[in-house]
Amino acid sequence: MEKKGRKAALRWVSAVAFCLVFILLLGLASEALRGRGAPAWYSQRRDSLDVLFFGSSHMLNAVSPMELWEEHGVASWNLAENGQLLPVTYYVLMAALDRLEPKLVVVDVYKIIQDTLFDSKSYLHTSIDPLPLSAAKLRAVYDLLPAGERTEFLFDITLYHSRWKEAGHIPRTDPDPDLRGWSPLTAVEAHEGFQIPPESETAQPPEEAARYLEKIVALCRKRGVELLLIAAPFTTPVPDDMDRQQRVNAVTEMAERWDVPFINMSYTLDEMGFDLNTDLADTYHANVSGMRKITAYLGAYMKSHWELPDRRGDSRYKAWDEALERYHEKLKTA
């Protein structure tokens, strides 16, 4: 009996080892054909990042962690992605909190305007594909997608299998790690005369978006992480048939109910020195000039409301100072 038990245990261990090796090889093959690996934040030390930023392109273009590092020594990362709706943000946040232990999470709420689980499959792939297979990724795929559409997100190699002949020549599309997740826009689009509606003017946010924003609040509370909600400055088409600003304004009451701080930056333009004619790249997104003003304002606010350590001079963060030098060089040619 003892011998049979050892054999059974050996078979079980062998099966588990085979599965792990198979998953590893499948992940490496998927990465090679996709041209993009796991996000750089995924490999950071568990306690190395004190602030994480989430949201759609509004956040992606609005906050530069390297500016925060230079000014305050705050170690942070921008995990926003184009088209990242609040349900997707929820699961990316979950994946991040499974790997990291930030003191503060900052979420841009602009996508409170949309009542769908994800924007498009293309954008969903951008947020989900780079995440290694994990409990959070599995939950995201099974929650956000119907049964017949999950395989390509669980095993995205099914999308790229036709690239086998190009193996070794597929260009990499990994985000530049020196930017710590931020994506720069250099265009300037003036919005002369644009009138932002009064902050008291609100419209009911879509139910699905509001539900997932509340889930984000609950997740942060469960994990013991502080949360700050923001809305980066934006303009809208006129007339705006989606009531974008009014739906974002409605978050004020929601945040008060949840006892979560919310900065609606459309109404702090003067404090930030933000000019709609020079600091926007287009209707919705901040350019480099706008990013600097948003990041400076946020940095001061965060340092005054939370005890965020200054990591400058810490030998464990030497790579951040080296990245800062490269960051400034890259901005010169942006």
Domain ranges of the chain: 44-153+175-332
- Residue 230 one-letter amino acid: I
pLDDT greater than 90 at residue 257: yes
Considering only CA atoms, give the Rg of the chain: 22
Instruction: Report the chain's mean pLDDT, rounded to a whole number.
Output: 89
Do the strands 262-264 and 76-78 form a parallel or antiparallel pair, or are they unpaired?
unpaired
Q: Which CATH superfamily is domain 44-153+175-332 in?
A: SGNH hydrolase (3.40.50.1110)
User: What does the block give as tokens for 148?
Assistant: 């017949």
More confident residue, 247 or 39: 247
Q: Given the structure tokens 């119907």, which residue do they identify?
A: 146
From 213, 219, 217, 298, select the one nearest 260 (Cα to Cα): 217
13 confidence band (pLDDT: 50, 70, 90): low
Question: For residues 40 and 73, what is the distance between their CA atoms, to the nearest angstrom?
Answer: 19
Q: Report, as an integer, the average pLDDT of 36-42.
A: 81
* Residue of 54, 74, 53, 69 lying closest to 328 (CA atoms): 69
Residues in the chain: 334
The whole-angstrom separation of Cα 114 and Cα 210 is: 9
Q: Which of these ranges, 17-26, 43-52, 124-133, has the smallest mean pLDDT?
A: 17-26
- Report pLDDT for 33: 45
Indicate if the pLDDT at residue 117 is higher than 50: yes
What single letter denotes the amino acid at residue 323? A
Segment among 24-38, 86-100, 213-227 with least mean pLDDT:
24-38
Q: Which of 171-175, 179-183, 276-280, 282-286 has the lowest mean pLDDT?
A: 171-175
pLDDT above 90 coverage of the chain, percent: 76
Calpha distance 198→180 (Å, rounded): 35
Among 47, 56, 55, 42, residue whose Cα is nearest residue 129:
42
- Residue 39's pLDDT is what? 87
pLDDT of residue 333: 80
Residue 30 clears pLDDT 90, i.e. is over it: no
User: Mean pLDDT across the stretch 140-166?
Assistant: 76
